Structure 1
Amino acid sequence: MSTEPVTDRSVDRTVGRLQVRGFPTRRAMAETAAADIAATLRRLLAGQGAVRMVFAAAPSQADTLAALRRAPGIDWSRVTAFHMDEYIGLPSAAPERFAAWLDDQVFTRLPFAAVHRIVPEPDPAAAAARYAALLGEGPLDIVCLGIGVNGHIAFNDPPVADFADPLDVKVVELDEACRQQQVDDACFPTLADVPLRAITLTIPLLLRGRELFCVVPGRSKRDAVAAALTGPIATSCPASILRTHPDCTLYLDPESAPDA
């Protein structure tokens, strides 16, 4: 276990409407993000009967999820969980599936009211429509997300991202940069092993989340973070749209912060 001290936030600023928090260590970033998510869960559960929550699946989120699992005082039996994307074409038991990763990290380790997994088989388009219907049954209270090396949020890569997408969930072709990230993150051995298609929640759906928590560690994300914060709000960097959300916080470590 890391012996780094957990240090409070070292940088606070606002870019557009986006709150940006920088930290001196990855551990401090992850534990503070988890504490903020936990505090939001407690606050919402104190005022409403249930919470609906979306989780991203990526190694970059593991430290935050581990800290969130340890957070006290959360009635997980009133939380319904969703995830934001899934590969098409992997065997149902493949450990690379995002549902399997989230099962290991959080879905099977906390007593959720319900967990809704994206199951692409046998018809991905129909699966996307079914998942959109589940998401549409109520508001989304919390979205936990990251940013990809090409600026994607969920699997909304630049070639397919649409800020006015008419769909809530859709089938997409994955950008090569996105697929290469999966290899660089040690999720797949080679680029050829990474699926070409996926199901993803769309950007308008993500932005309808009441509170967004975006955790982005690592040197490989620095250019994407810089584009998200200082470039145009455009689908060339889908994460740039986060600057328009009324309640989104971006958590950075020293490696991902572009001005570090």
Structure 2
Amino acid sequence: MTLPASATVGGIDVQVHPSRAAMGRAAAAAVAGDLRRRLQDGGAARMIFAAAPSQAEMLDALVAEPGIDWGRVTAFHMDEYIGLAPDAPARFALWLRRHLFDRLSFGAVHTIDPGRDPAAAAAEYARLLSAAPIDIVCLGIGVNGHLAFNDPPVADLADPLDVKVVELDAVCRRQQVDDGGFPRLADVPTHAITLTVPRLLRADRLVCVVPGAAKREAVRRALHDPVGAACPATALRWHPAVTLFLDPESNPHG
């Protein structure tokens, strides 16, 4: 099966772009267009962002998009390591500050700080998220099929919590080394705070950006495997408004 440039697979709008850069620009244009619509006539928007190298091209292009009043946008992120120093370069909040939050004048930015009581931090972040609906989530898919830090096979697709402390599986931790976040597997934290799958799926729109050959099998599984915890990304098929942006390397039908 060869996908055209745009197709619907499992209810997901799948777009395949000719390069990683083109994929990033297309995803950013989609997010920007949605934001402009939501912000017209004095509206506001609330967004959640993933922190990962896979998102870098999209975020760079989003920063350059004109005509968006970022002062009416509230930003969140979806996961954070437990146990890193506040100034550790690998912290996701700092990655997003470098790539996005410090480059635009957001109305508010809420980052996850596990502090000395990660469970309490998770509960407080859940409270902030629940203050109003989330409009857009910009996310990716992990090499093991995870969404945020909801790893197989223990991800709960019907999780009653919105934000929680989780233990990271070995494949997920290895990805953090392969992505350049840590020099050795032993340096990667074993636990993190994450938004849960149901919390992500309650957003109005999901924009999923997944480049690279390492993600090809995870994308195939997300689109075709039975929906379940063995590949948490299969839960994207439950959402009515998901667009999946791929490059040629991540396209499982290429």
TM-score range relative to shorter protein: over 0.9
Whether the aligned pair in 1 keeps the contact of 2:12 and 2:241 (CA below 8 Å) is: yes
Whether the aligned pair in 2 keeps the contact of 1:159 and 1:175 (CA below 8 Å) is: no
What is the aligned partner in structure 2 of residue 21 from structure 1?
15
CA distance in 2, matches of 1:10, 1:78: 36
Pairs within 5 Å for 1:156-175: 156-175=150-169
What is the aligned partner in structure 1 of residue 216 from structure 2?
222
What is the aligned partner in structure 2 of residue 98 from structure 1?
92
Pick the aligned partner of 1:45 from 39, 43, 62: 39
CA distance in 2, matches of 1:194, 1:160: 19
Pairs within 5 Å for 1:60-139: 60-139=54-133
What is the aligned partner in structure 1 of residue 205 from structure 2?
211
What is the aligned partner in structure 2 of residue 231 from structure 1?
225
Whether the aligned pair in 1 keeps the contact of 2:153 and 2:231 (CA below 8 Å) is: no
Identify if the C-alpha distance between structure 1 residues 48 and 229 changes in structure 2 by more than 3 Å, giving closer, same or farther. Answer: farther
Q: Which aligned segments of 4 or more residues in structure 1 are displaced greater than 3 angstroms?
A: none
CA RMSD of aligned residues (A): 1.1
What is the TM-score with the length of structure 2 in the denominator?
0.97
What is the aligned partner in structure 2 of residue 33 from structure 1?
27
CA distance in 1, matches of 2:30, 2:94: 25
CA distance in 1, matches of 2:34, 2:125: 25
Whether the aligned pair in 2 keeps the contact of 1:11 and 1:23 (CA below 8 Å) is: yes
Q: Which blocks of at least 5 consecutive residues in structure 2 are unaligned?
A: none
Q: What is the percentage of aligned positions where both structures have the same residue?
A: 64
CA distance in 2, matches of 1:205, 1:44: 21
Q: Which blocks of at least 5 consecutive residues in structure 1 are unaligned?
A: 1-8
Amino acid at match of 2:7: R
Amino acid at match of 1:50: A
Question: Per-residue displacement from partner, 1:204-260 (whole Å, max 9, x unpaired)?
Answer: 000001010000000000010010011111110000111111001000000000011
What is the aligned partner in structure 2 of residue 176 from structure 1?
170
Whether the aligned pair in 2 keeps the contact of 1:88 and 1:198 (CA below 8 Å) is: yes
CA distance in 2, matches of 1:31, 1:49: 25
Question: SS of the residue aligned with 2:228?
Answer: coil
What is the TM-score with the length of structure 1 in the denominator?
0.95
What is the aligned partner in structure 2 of residue 57 from structure 1?
51
> How many residues were matched structurally?
252
What is the aligned partner in structure 2 of residue 148 from structure 1?
142
